[in-house]
Amino acid sequence: MRPRRTALAGALLGTLILAGCGQTGTTATPSAAPSAPTAPTASSAPASSADFPVTVEAGNGKVTLAKKPERIVSLSATHTETLFAIGAGPQVVAVDDQSNYPSEAPKTDLSGFKPNVEAIVAQKPDLVIVSNDIDQIVAELGKVNVPVLLEPAATKLDEAYEEIAEIGAATGNKAKADEVVSGMKTAMDKLAAEAPKDKKLTYYHELDQTPYAATSQTFIGQVYGLFGLTNIADKAPDQAAGYPKLSAEFVAQADPDMIFLGDVKCCGQSKDTLAKRPGWKGLSAIKNDQVIQLDDDLASRWGPRVVQLAESIGAAVAKAGAKS
């Protein structure tokens, strides 16, 4: 039995992104060319029912599914991406209002942050997948006999891989899920092996413009760790579950070599907006043009497209290393 992961980090991160930035759910061009597993179209091969009934150990304990689910509701943008990547797209009947990828996902006004039991049940789901147990939605759906798979925000890459495998097993797409995970591991290992780690560059990853950051103890912090970078947020006085709110003075004093922005689409942040902040105009990252605008979605999700995020970071690190 695996340990149950807390949904605190996921809830906090999601709240920061939605409330702090006013995310609209619009799409933007990814910051790296796709090489991660991408979502297949609805013409994917039907899911196998040979392995049912199946029991999956999820964040809410053991979940048993008597038969292959045919009406899946996803209340997590990350898990929507996973479902389509593993070939379960044809089984998905509704996704939440933040699920903007892939484009063919049946987006609705359902919310993962303000779940409405009646609206969810109206979709007649035989499986609901969530990343947060907000308002005890797992128990509430259980009262009406709707199976729920709670897969909280991953805190490390291995947990992200594990969740994809679990969703694959729960939906009858285990083989494709294992293939996706294998491809992700291979790609991430390759990126890590190719990363220049001799420059000892420091960085600041901005979640939103207030500014909240992410430490090395978070999922995204681990991705940066693959490239040998030093996170300035690790020395913040209040770690706040891995997402400390930094002062402008703290960032200015740390003077990171690189700044990565995860608040571009939502909050309009750029090198120019950073330069207008008190004490930031002279930061090394700004003067040396080392402010990297990430795709907000890639920077806040832990599904199959994390490889694209890592590619963006890796390319930026290689460029910075060549300049230094």
Contact 131, 152 (CB under 8 A): yes
Nearest Cα to Cα of residue 257 among 290, 292, 216: 290
Question: Is the confidence at residue 171, as pLDDT, over 50?
Answer: yes
Mean pLDDT of the chain: 87
Asked if residues 31 and 293 have their Cβ atoms less than 8 Å apart, the reply is yes
Per-residue confidence (pLDDT) for residue 285, from 0 to 100: 97
Predicted confidence band of residue 49 (pLDDT cuts 50, 70, 90): low
**What average pLDDT does the segment 110-134 reach?**
98
**Sheet of 72-74: strands edge to edge?**
92-95, 72-74, 127-130, 148-150
- Tokens 């048993």: give the residue: 64
List of E strands, the chain: 54-58, 61-65, 72-74, 92-95, 127-130, 148-150, 202-208, 212-213, 230-231, 258-261, 291-293
- Percentage of the chain beyond pLDDT 90 is 78
30 pLDDT higher than 90: no
CATH superfamily of 195-323: Nitrogenase molybdenum iron protein domain (3.40.50.1980)
- What is the fold of 35-189? Rossmann fold (3.40.50)
pLDDT of residue 13: 53
User: pLDDT digit string (tens) for 16-25?
Assistant: 444 334 343 3
Q: Among 4-8, 49-53, 234-238, name the most confident range.
A: 234-238
Phi/psi at 320 (5° precision)? -65, -40
For residue 1, pLDDT beyond 90: no
Instruction: Give the number of other CB atoms < 10 A from CB of residue 62.
Output: 9
Q: Is the pLDDT of residue 26 over 50?
A: no
What is the tens place of the pLDDT at every residue in 61-108?
999 999 999 999 999 999 999 999 999 999 999 999 999 999 999 999
CA dist 115 → 92, 118, 137, 265 (Å): 18, 9, 7, 25
214 neighbors 205 (Cβ within 8 angstroms): yes
Per-position DSSP letters for 150-204, written without gaps between them: E-PPPSSHHHHHHHHHHHHHHHT-HHHHHHHHHHHHHHHHHHHHHS--SS--EEE
pLDDT score for 161: 98
DSSP state string for 191-213: HHHHS--SS--EEEEEEETTTEE
Tens of pLDDT along 251-309?
999 999 999 999 999 999 999 999 999 999 999 999 999 999 999 999 999 999 999 99
pLDDT for 319 equals 87
Percent of the chain with pLDDT over 70: 83
Report strand pairing: 258-261 vs 202-208. Answer: parallel
Judge residue 3's burial from the number of C-beta atoms within 10 Å of its C-beta, 0-12 exposed, 13-18 middle, 19 or more buried. Answer: exposed
pLDDT, residue 48, reads 52
pTM: 0.86
pLDDT of residue 191 exceeding 80: yes
Q: What is the rounded distance in angstroms from the CA atom of residue 79 to the CA atom of residue 129?
A: 7
Is pLDDT of 224 > 50?
yes
Q: What is the pLDDT of residue 239?
A: 83
Q: Do the domains spanning 35-189 and 195-323 agree at the CATH topology level? A: yes
Q: How far apart (Å, rounded) are the C-alpha atoms in residues 215 and 244?
A: 8
- Domain extents in the chain: 35-189, 195-323
Helix (H, G, I), strand (E, B) or coil at 57: strand
